[in-house]
A and B are shown apart, each in its own frame.
Chain A
Amino acid sequence: MSLILFAEQVLNGLQLGVMLFLMAAGLTLVFGVMGLINLAHGSLFMIGAFAAAAVAGATGSFLLALMAALAAAAAAGALVELVVIRRLYNRDHLDQVLATFALILIFSEGTRWVFGSFPLFLNIPDYLAGPVTLPGGIQYPFYRLTLILIGLAVALGLFLLISRTRLGIQIRAGENDREMIAALGINISGLYTIVFALGAALAGLAGALVGAIQSVQVGMGEPVLILAFVVIVIGGIGSIKGALVGSILVGLTDTLGGLLLPELFRQFMDSSAASSAGSALASMLIYILMAAVLIVRPTGLFGAKA
């Protein structure tokens, strides 16, 4: 295995990681601030992708499509919070899981009803298409490089939002003691709607960005949702920093594991069996990582609450 292949895979792992971060950030905020398990977060990812595909199809502009994805997912998030989620804060987690699972079914069949059963077309714009040559002779798709940069920029923006703004202070306070900040005169239900819409917008952005290189179809959000849950468990629930570190850990583990394990097995097995066994074990790696983190730190890497 060459060094170039390894370097390319590290970039791939990083790219997967930052996209996971966009999903996990919203999930961990909602869980941390409101104590809500939102299984329908994957549906917001899907809504972002479908909105982007519809707008890109109508206007041909990728930037407009991204804005539409942000707006549609944020609007859907705010609406869902006002109509359904608001009634769930004081219920136990099982009720929340049931209700948000129902939302998945409603969103999936609703999307199928509006857009049909066949996957939609959403492609990367011409100015981001094709590979670029990086130092060291690595050929890497320009679009994926852009994704890494967008993901890191969003992470920085979120960090500043949480640590430097008034809204960020309220969010952090809400995580620690929600009765107290309500008593201090903060409109807590308004804050919850904003946080939920923000998380939804990030998921929608991820859906649109990833949808352009994958397929825009019903149910596309659920596999990502599972990974995002793994990320927030590893990173520590409620922590944005934990979500970023967890995302990149999961991204790198998944990508490099898929490359290195079959290679390792090939040392003492025939090629076919090695790739079959290697990829089977590689797909378990992130869960093994999660288990290992939980043994050492039961609240996750950056989890605050015991």
Chain B
Amino acid sequence: MTLKSLAMAASMMALGTVALGDTHDDAVRVGMITTLSGGGAGLGIDVRDGFMLAIAQSGLDNIEVIIEDDQRRPDVAVRLSDEMIQSHDVDVMTGIIWSNLAMAVIPSAVAQDVIYLSPNAGPSQLAGRGCHPNYFNVAWQNDALHEAAGAYANSQGYTNSFILAPNYPAGQDALTGYKRMYEGGLAGELFTELGQTDYASEIAQIRASGADSVFFFLPGGMGIAFVKQFADSGVDIPLIGPAFSFDQGILQAVGADALGIVNTSQWNRDIDNPTNAAFVESFQAEYGRLPSLYASQGFDTANLLISALAVADPSDGDAFRAALAAADFDSTRGDFAFGPNQHPIQDIYVREVIQDGDVFTNRIIGVALEDHGDFYAAECSF
């Protein structure tokens, strides 16, 4: 080591000590960029609350979480990510909800030696050829819940589905995922506009198509609008969808029109294991509302991180990655493991919307796919 670099290292350490102030020397810095304002804020808030609940329950005081709002805008997310990596020097990043934001942030973050733990978005690009040793998905690959819906349709003997989704990458993935598992024919296939709120035209076409089932992927407000309008139209065809239109945050806004609708999810509050029971109870006590699947994903993400920190330090890259890949934590979902592309292998359940007192919620009525990995793992090689 030359004198110059020694001096530099010394001054860096001096600066570092000043900047860190009262935090521990061995503090792990976690950068969370998620959606906390605007129409999609409910999802980001749930992920954040679940994540912070797990951190608080762990009792560790050496994890410093820096939280920023991406406003659901890719350009903002990229700027925040640069800031986190360059000025805050984060070890681990997490938080992104939307696949288009994930594609803008994750590839460059993991290339700069930051570990990324995705609590929600799982675009196919990052599961297949674009997989990376520093990238872990703790939620699902995007197709998983749609594939489960296809498998469920087979089990019900549906042979003539009408399928629809918004015309954007995740929507196209959704229909691809459904068709990958579903064995019957199609009564119709429609792409709607992203953010569309009036489905009168689509419902008229469903009515005229003679379908025996309808599969739809319309997350958030789009799903609320579709389910209400479908119920009011008097069309009597069973609906199937992924959990994104039936999560705890939006079910109250749909109301009785959602009762009995079947949806697929990797989590529900009635999954019977001690971790989940404790999570549901403590989340409700802390925040005064029932947790959604997004909250469970945030909670699991934090617990995965905590489990890995107990074994290795982020500065020791290989050991830390191995500790994460082992997934040695108690998931709210029960059994949880990572596949070769570091995406989950897990059960996907079939749920049904029920009313429990005043509250609309889901209960599990079966398992659609057991120990389900993803289709893209074969294309991934580190």
Contacts and interface: CB of A to CB of B under 8 A. Distances in A.
Interface of A: 1-2, 4-5, 8-9, 12, 15-16, 108-109, 112, 117-121, 123-124, 129-131, 139, 141, 143-144, 210, 213-220, 223, 255, 258-259, 262, 271-272, 275-276, 279-280, 283
Question: Per DSSP, are chain B's interface residues mostly helix, strand or loop, or mixed?
Answer: helix
Contacts of A218: 38-39, 41
B234 interface: yes
B257 to A, nearest CB: 7
Given A119-B253, A124-B232, A217 B186 contact: no
Contacts of A258: 201
B190 A139 contact: no
- Bin the interface of chain B by size: 35 or more
B253 A259 contact: no
Nearest to B36: A117
B41 A213 contact: no
B204 A141 contact: no
Interface in B23-59: 37-39, 41-42, 45
B253 A118 contact: yes
Interface in B166-213: 167, 172, 175, 186, 189-193, 195, 197-198, 200-201, 204-205, 207-208
Contact of A112 (B41, B175, B220, B224): B41
Contacts, number: 128
B221 interface: yes
Contacts of B150: none
Name, among A141, A217, A262, A279, the residue most crowded by chain B CB atoms within 10 Å (CB to CB): A217
A139 B230 CA distance: 13
Given A214-B197, A215-B197, A220-B39, A143 B221 contact: no
A208 to B, nearest CB: 14
A118 B249 contact: yes
21 contacts: A5-B207, A16-B198, A118-B42, A118-B253, A121-B252, A141-B232, A141-B233, A141-B234, A144-B200, A210-B198, A215-B253, A216-B253, A217-B253, A218-B41, A220-B221, A223-B197, A271-B186, A271-B189, A272-B175, A280-B191, A283-B193
B191 A276 contact: yes
